[in-house]
Structure 1
Amino acid sequence: MSADSGILIRFTSLGACSKRGEWAIDILIYPAAFSYRHGIELYVKHLLNKLSTYNKSGVDYQKTHKLQDNWKLLEAEVKKSQLTCFDDVELSLAGDIVDEFCQIDPTGQVFRYPEDIKGNAHLTGLGVINVEVLEQGMDVLHGLLEKWRHGFQDLHDAGG
């Protein structure tokens, strides 16, 4: 298992702790959401690197925390690759989940700091982050990211 996948799995377990009342939700949700987001970012950059190598395109991931910048590059590289492990419907579903996450935290700052550099509080218009919905979305996304990561491992093991 890669370090990237461990991040998503560990925090899914913390989501279960929250449901059992073992953690105060406000103490749990920010580090969990930040780690989920960071895990997604690591997966996207990893897969983009693998696709760029496979396609011999020389595309490098952007040195940014804006997930959508690298997600768009990933989608373009997937289309170039024509690898069968990437299904259009699954890619669209994963893109929707990434977009939803980015609507709340477009730059990786919201769950890292309680306010922006000007002192404005984050998430003032969002009263609740539903842990169960977050967990379900991350489970789906994790499954897809792992499928794609394994697709590259299988390709490598087959000598491709």
Structure 2
Amino acid sequence: MSEQPTFEHFLESDFRWPRRGDQAFATSPTRGSNAEIALPVSSRAVMMITGYKRAADLMVAQATRDRYDRDALVYPIIFNYRQFIELSLKYLIATYGPQVNIAANWTSHRLDELWKIFSGLLNAYPSGDPEGTDPAVKAIIAEFAKVDPNSFSYRYPVDIKGNPIPIAFGELDVTALSDAMSALSSYFSGCDGYFDSLSANEV
């Protein structure tokens, strides 16, 4: 009969275990090696938008190479892309809304509500949507709003009462999701540039 491993046995293994003096939040003395976090609010918002999408893109790249990673990473992939959408809408509303009497909304996590406000922003500026892109964007955001209404579905397995959170799909093509998010990113960037140019002309 084999001897059962003890906790001391695991401590003596090759795993990296916490050590006295470890710090999660530390700075490196090496010049240029630290990530800059304390940016001005507007810059921080842009970097957060960029960061959540970039993190999801990198996870998709890894997920396409490894089946186990694919099944594990799909949750943070969906969450990060959703956060990218939410922050993009909130940033554009907060940045360009006040000029057309539309207030910022940093409190709601509901994408359907944020899209409704953003649609008002689009309607408040001239020229509209000559290529018919807005309905396609609305459809993508409506998908996210349906499968993850309050930004909880892919962060937790259960709700605050311990009930399982329903999952909309049993399987997902993460590369198709990534492609749609790339298109959405281009759309938001285009809107940012468009609103900015109009603001410069005091629309």
Q: Shorter-chain TM-score category?
A: 0.7 to 0.9
> For the Cα contact (< 8 Å) 1:17–1:23, is it kept in 2?
no
Partner AA of 2:55 in structure 1: R
Structure 2: tracts of 5 or more residues without a match:
1-42
Is 1:79 the counterpart of 2:114 in the alignment?
no
> For the Cα contact (< 8 Å) 1:62–1:69, is it kept in 2?
no
147-156 vs 42-51, greater mean Cα deviation: 147-156
Q: For 1:133 and 1:143, how far apart are their aligned partners in 2? A: 16
User: What is the match of residue 69 of structure 1?
Assistant: 113
User: What is the match of residue 58 of structure 2?
Assistant: 13
Alpha-carbon displacement from aligned partner over 1:92-136 (angstroms, at most 9, x marks no partner): 111111001111101111011111122222235521122122112
How far 1:87 sits from its partner (Å)?
4.8
User: What is the match of residue 32 of structure 1?
Assistant: 77
Higher relative contact order (CA 8 A, sep 6+): 1
The alignment partner of 2:103 has SS state of coil
How far 1:81 sits from its partner (Å)?
1.6
The alignment partner of 2:156 has SS state of coil
* Aligned match for 1:138, one of 170, 175, 181: 181
Sequence identity percentage: 25
Alpha-carbon displacement from aligned partner over 1:38-97 (angstroms, at most 9, x marks no partner): 111111011111231231x0423251111111110110121012256x556212111111
Structure 1: tracts of 5 or more residues without a match:
none
Q: For 2:61 and 2:102, how far apart are their aligned partners in 1? A: 41
Partner AA of 1:81 in structure 2: Y
Q: For 2:91 and 2:168, how far apart are their aligned partners in 1? A: 33
Q: For 2:116 and 2:131, how far apart are their aligned partners in 1? A: 14
123-132 vs 111-120, greater mean Cα deviation: 123-132
Q: For 1:155 and 1:9, how far apart are their aligned partners in 2? A: 28
List structure 1 segments (4+ residues) > 6 angstroms apart after TM superposition: none
TM-score, length basis structure 2:
0.68
User: What is the match of residue 50 of structure 1?
Assistant: 95
TM-score, length basis structure 1:
0.85
Alignment root-mean-square deviation, CA: 2.3
Q: For 2:113 and 2:107, how far apart are their aligned partners in 1? A: 10
Rg larger in structure: 2
User: What is the match of residue 170 of structure 2?
Assistant: 127
